[in-house]
């Protein structure tokens, strides 16, 4: 069994999983609708709130260490599929998916570009740029 990446920041992990699961299709695709049917729970698909069962799924999801080398760019866009699978009607108007901690960068030496959801935290951009990562707000 391969080792998995231990993430410090849930939202950084979610951005990575978007890239690996939905963009590169290297992880099995998650569908909230299918997962809810399998697990026997319901959710409000009109809510902008995160579905707790979806967050729990992604918290438990293991990302194998060997997939880290495939992550060269992360684009956090409000329309990313993963955000809508977690919070089906999320409008991007709150900080639900903001990355607050960048310690997870150590797992992704090939990451060269990152587009962040706007938080106004210019330190985040400086942190990324200091590591040689092209970084900007969405």
What percent of the chain is modeled with pLDDT above 70? Answer: 99
With beta carbons less than 8 A apart as the criterion, state whether 62 and 20 touch.
no
Tens of pLDDT, residues 87-108: 999 988 899 999 989 999 999 9
Flag whether the pTM goes above 0.85.
yes
Which residues have CB under 8 Å from 72's CB, separation 6+?
A: 110, 111, 112, 113
CA distance 100 to 106: 15
| Cα angle value 67/121/64 (rounded, 5°) | 10
**pLDDT for the residue 1:** 61
Q: Which residues pair with 134 in a beta bridge?
A: 113
Model pLDDT for residues 29-56, shown as the tens digit of each residue: 999 999 999 999 999 999 899 999 999 9
Tens of pLDDT along 71-90?
A: 999 999 989 999 999 999 99
- Tell me the pLDDT band of 118, cut-offs 50, 70 and 90: confident
Taking the C-alpha atoms of residue 111 and residue 58, their distance in angstroms, rounded to an integer, is: 21
Retrieve residue 17's tokens. Answer: 């999983």
Identify the pLDDT of residue 14: 98
């Amino acid at each position: 069994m391969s080792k998995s990446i231990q993430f410090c920041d849930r939202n950084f992990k979610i951005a990575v999983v978007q890239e690996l699961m939905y963009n590169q299709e290297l992880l099995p695709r998650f569908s909230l609708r299918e997962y809810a049917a399998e697990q026997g729970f319901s959710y409000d698909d009109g809510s902008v709130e995160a579905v707790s069962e979806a967050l729990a799924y992604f918290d438990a999801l293991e990302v194998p260490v060997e997939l880290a080398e495939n992550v060269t760019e992360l684009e956090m866009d409000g329309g990313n599929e993963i955000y809508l699978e977690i919070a089906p009607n999320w409008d991007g108007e709150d900080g639900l998916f903001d990355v607050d901690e960048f310690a997870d960068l150590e797992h992704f030496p090939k990451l060269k570009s990152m587009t962040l959801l706007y938080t106004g935290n210019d330190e985040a951009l400086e942190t990324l740029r200091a590591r040689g990562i092209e970084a900007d707000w969405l």
